[in-house]
Structure 1
Amino acid sequence: MKVPSVLRRRAQSAESGGVVRLDRRTKNLTKRLKPGEIAVIDHADLDRVSAEALVECQVSAVINIAGSVSGRYPNFGPQILLDAGIELIDRAVPADEEAKDLFAVLTEGDQIRLNDGEILDEHDAVVGRGELMDRQALDRQLSQAQTGLSDQIIAFTENTMSYLREEKDLLLEGVGVPQVKTSFEGRHVLIVVRGYDYRDDLIALRSYISERRPLLIGVDGGADALLENGYAPDIILGDMDSCSDAALNCGAELVVHAYRDGRAPGLERIKKLGLEAVVFPVLGTSEDAAMLLADSKGAQLIVAVGTHASLVEFLDKGRSGMASTFLTRLRVGPKLVDAKGVSRIYRSEVKGWHIVLLVLSALLALVTAMAFTNFGRQVGDLLLARWNDVVYWLKELFT
């Protein structure tokens, strides 16, 4: 797997220790991590997006109390950390057998030191230990995980059929899609998820966005991704747990992704901010909801940034419910284009011959002005006189 150059840099801190930050949800932890700190996570099958976020935070080490490679399938996260020079201690357990896990032993802000898989406190007492992941150990685990891929495909298929039975009315007829103020009819829609290669995709799509002016949907943190690139989202859709207050207050229409029974935990945050939102109950992921909304409301084309497109990416998400994304893509298939495909086939509508034609038109206008106006004739006579002077000077030079 090719890792972007920005992710290949080593952590800035050369120390074998640092300040501890803990959170069982990696995406929440990355919001407060600082360079040189140590991340303590509980993340089985560490996925690519989470690993890239940890690298961007420039952590000095990652301690995972779960297995970064569980064997279900070959996942990319641990390799990204090692390629970035970040120390990874896997399946870490407390030294005190009576303690439940490291979250019961370590406290946010503790100063710790790492030594060959051992975790030492500021008094050099061993408080935990784990497996120090290296390239050989990772290659061995990933090789073993290949054998578990077939079982995951079977489970994925079963989840797909289950989702189809429960959401057939929504998938086939669009039943349950909420009414929104934003008009989709006949427009291009750009859906941005803070997932795989979303930054590179947004850069590659600058010409497309500038000329086509698609309707912009930010899925949770995708709203911040749009703002970071200078774009204002038209709609923000999701659980509302990964986007900033600034994004929610940017003026976009808000659609809260809810459970099928109508419960919408994200709605409480919206109300606290004094904002209004539409609720969209659907079993699938928020990116599924965004695609179904755009398709049901008459979008002409749907361009997806950072979404999941392959089986391994679905499994890398770590949810059995990712089967819903597979079915959603089948539902909107004729309209759906991945951002990488758009950047490869789309070219700016300003062609080279357009520029040549513009220059020729300007020259023609200049010649016409010189030929049919007194000022133009005077300028022409002056230029002709200067030209004759140059010719005469050249003749004198060689005779």
Structure 2
Amino acid sequence: MSTSRTEGVARLGKRTKDLTKRLRPGEIAIIDHEDIDRVAAEALVEREPAAVLNVAASTSGRYPNAGPRILVDAGIVLVDSLGDEVFEGIRDGERITVEDGWVLLEGEPIAEGARQDDASVTASQEASREGLSEQLELFAENTMEYMLRERDLLLDGIGAPEVATRMDGRPVLIVVRGYHYKEDLATLKPFLRENRPVIIGVDGGADAVLEAGFRPDMIIGDMDSVSDRALRSGSELVVHAYRDGRAPGMERLAELGLAEGAVSFPASGTSEDIAMLLADEKGASVIVAVGTHGTLEEFLDKGRAGMSSTFLTRLRIGSKLVDAKGVSRLYRQRISTFQLVLLALAGLAALAVALWATPGGQALVQILFARLDGLLSWFTTLFTPRATGS
């Protein structure tokens, strides 16, 4: 059996979403991410690493998470369960080698893990399906707990802060850096240009809005994964705070000199939840969601107890909420003037070819060219200097 060997510069990061910001193509990502979810895997694939080394188990067996399959299908070397000694024995920027499940530094073995391939990922996913019933029970318990804790916010909107951005009677677009958010934003560009909705970026979703050529009206989140550029774009800032009022994100805004105009929103659950609840409470006519979690698979794939809050939030605003994919299927861009001009020119070209194919058409074209030549000659004489007598 041949040995698989991969070499590259090591990039270490225990938070996958932070690591992907500085990961370059061909480098080797070293992460600590149990149950790699779809969003994390897609972010890694986008950076094109040579390999992903995980000190934890990429699939723990709790449920069939999608991340490992995405990495393996993309042709990226995936090695699991390497242990914390990898972070202790390798420094960021050092060149390392991966041979099957072994990690080598200057030829010396640092750690050994389990190399994943198509067969092992398939087996792990099949085995993980047995844990779904237990995860559903935990999900139901967390949902009930969140409903009791946030009943005032869910039922009456109590606790939502006053904001300057006007949403009453307007469509609101909420962008989360999640499932297929870039593709959904691209399909919604005609909708954005013609309907001009209020745009809310949830943390890193604000950067996605800027990359798409638009500016968010509001940024909501704990401010840990949004760029300084987005924060300074002039958007209204709403910091997601803990239920007791602590808001670590406000400290970052203070460092940037942006805390004075920021608003705090204490609530449990996720930042995308409070973005939806705020839009609903402020009178949005419709809420279009980009990159948010909408299916049971996505809730479990996120791997957090807090995802139960998203489930309840969707029930709370269900009549207003529309997924971006649904909008792109229902909405069709109006034909632009440029497209009409191209269509007219194509029609004239086809007509000219058809006329030239007949004797009568050729005679007509010759007459038109003769008239055109006479018209150009007359026009030229208007600008020709006349001879004057001595």
State the TM-score, normalizing by the size of structure 2.
Answer: 0.84
Q: In the alignment, is the contact (CA less than 8 A) between 2:39 and 2:179 conserved in 1?
A: yes
Runs of 4+ in 1 over 2 A off after TM superposition: 348-352
Counterpart of 2:105 (choices 121, 124, 127) is 121
Aligned match of 2:91: 107
Counterpart of 2:38 (choices 48, 69, 89) is 48
Whether 1:27 and 2:12 are equivalent positions in the alignment is no
Which amino acid letter does the alignment assign opposite residue 54 of structure 1? Answer: L
Report how far residue 279 of structure 1 moved: 0.3
Counterpart of 1:216 (choices 199, 224, 231) is 199
Structure 2: runs of 5+ lacking an equivalent? 345-363, 372-390
Report how far residue 349 of structure 1 moved: 4.1
Q: In the alignment, is the contact (CA less than 8 A) between 2:101 and 2:113 conserved in 1?
A: yes
Whether 1:257 and 2:261 are equivalent positions in the alignment is no
Greater CA drift, 334-343 or 15-24: 15-24
Query: Equivalent residue of 1:243, what SS?
Result: coil
Alignment of 1:237-276 (within 5 A): 237-275=220-258, 276=261
Report how far residue 240 of structure 1 moved: 0.5
Which amino acid letter does the alignment assign opposite residue 312 of structure 2? Answer: L
Counterpart of 1:39 (choices 26, 29, 40) is 29
Greater CA drift, 341-350 or 326-335: 341-350
Percent of residue pairs bearing the same amino acid type:
58
Whether 1:195 and 2:178 are equivalent positions in the alignment is yes
Query: Equivalent residue of 2:48, what SS?
Result: coil
Aligned match of 2:119: 136
Q: In the alignment, is the contact (CA less than 8 A) between 2:5 and 2:99 conserved in 1?
A: no
Give the aligned CA root-mean-square deviation in angstroms. Answer: 2.1
Counterpart of 1:348 (choices 322, 333, 348) is 333
Q: What is the alpha-carbon distance in structure 2 between the residues aligned to residue 171 and residue 355 of structure 1?
A: 48
Cα shift readout 1:148-196 (whole Å, capped 9, x = no counterpart): 1111111100100000000000000000000000111000000000110
Which amino acid letter does the alignment assign opposite residue 314 of structure 1? Answer: F
Report how far residue 56 of structure 1 moved: 1.2
Aligned match of 1:11: none
Query: Equivalent residue of 1:147, what SS?
Result: helix
Q: In the alignment, is the contact (CA less than 8 A) between 2:199 and 2:215 conserved in 1?
A: yes
Which amino acid letter does the alignment assign opposite residue 108 of structure 1? Answer: D
Report how far residue 267 of structure 1 moved: 0.4
Which amino acid letter does the alignment assign opposite residue 88 of structure 1? Answer: L
The 1:127–1:15 alpha-carbon spacing in structure 2 relative to 1, beyond 3 Å, is closer
Query: Equivalent residue of 1:218, what SS?
Result: strand
Cα shift readout 1:41-63 (whole Å, capped 9, x = no counterpart): 11011011111111111111011
Q: What is the alpha-carbon distance in structure 1 between the residues aligned to residue 204 and residue 136 of structure 2?
A: 29
Q: What is the alpha-carbon distance in structure 1 between the residues aligned to residue 5 and residue 97 of structure 2?
A: 8
Q: What is the alpha-carbon distance in structure 2 between the residues aligned to residue 181 and residue 101 of structure 1?
A: 50
Q: What is the alpha-carbon distance in structure 1 between the residues aligned to residue 217 and residue 17 of structure 2?
A: 24
Report how far residue 304 of structure 1 moved: 0.1
Counterpart of 1:308 (choices 293, 296, 303) is 293
Query: Equivalent residue of 1:43, what SS?
Result: coil
Whether 1:78 and 2:63 are equivalent positions in the alignment is no
Q: In the alignment, is the contact (CA less than 8 A) between 2:64 and 2:129 conserved in 1?
A: yes
Q: What is the alpha-carbon distance in structure 2 between the residues aligned to residue 355 and residue 136 of structure 1?
A: 53
Q: What is the alpha-carbon distance in structure 1 between the residues aligned to residue 228 and residue 336 of structure 2?
A: 41
Q: In the alignment, is the contact (CA less than 8 A) between 2:5 and 2:98 conserved in 1?
A: no
Q: What is the alpha-carbon distance in structure 1 between the residues aligned to residue 335 and residue 94 of structure 2?
A: 57
Which amino acid letter does the alignment assign opposite residue 110 of structure 1? Answer: E
Report how far residue 351 of structure 1 moved: 8.9
Q: What is the alpha-carbon distance in structure 2 between the residues aligned to residue 91 and residue 221 of structure 1?
A: 29
Q: What is the alpha-carbon distance in structure 2 between the residues aligned to residue 322 and residue 101 of structure 1?
A: 32
Structure 1: runs of 5+ lacking an equivalent? 1-13, 94-99, 360-382, 391-399
Alignment of 1:324-363 (within 5 A): 324-350=309-335
Whether 1:87 and 2:77 are equivalent positions in the alignment is yes
Query: Equivalent residue of 1:55, what SS?
Result: helix
State the TM-score, normalizing by the size of structure 1.
Answer: 0.83
Cα shift readout 1:51-110 (whole Å, capped 9, x = no counterpart): 1111111111011011101111111111111111110000113xxxxxx53212221122
Which amino acid letter does the alignment assign opposite residue 103 of structure 2? Answer: I
Query: Equivalent residue of 2:257, what SS?
Result: coil
Which amino acid letter does the alignment assign opposite residue 264 of structure 2? Answer: V
Q: In the alignment, is the contact (CA less than 8 A) between 2:36 and 2:58 conserved in 1?
A: yes
Whether 1:280 and 2:280 are equivalent positions in the alignment is no
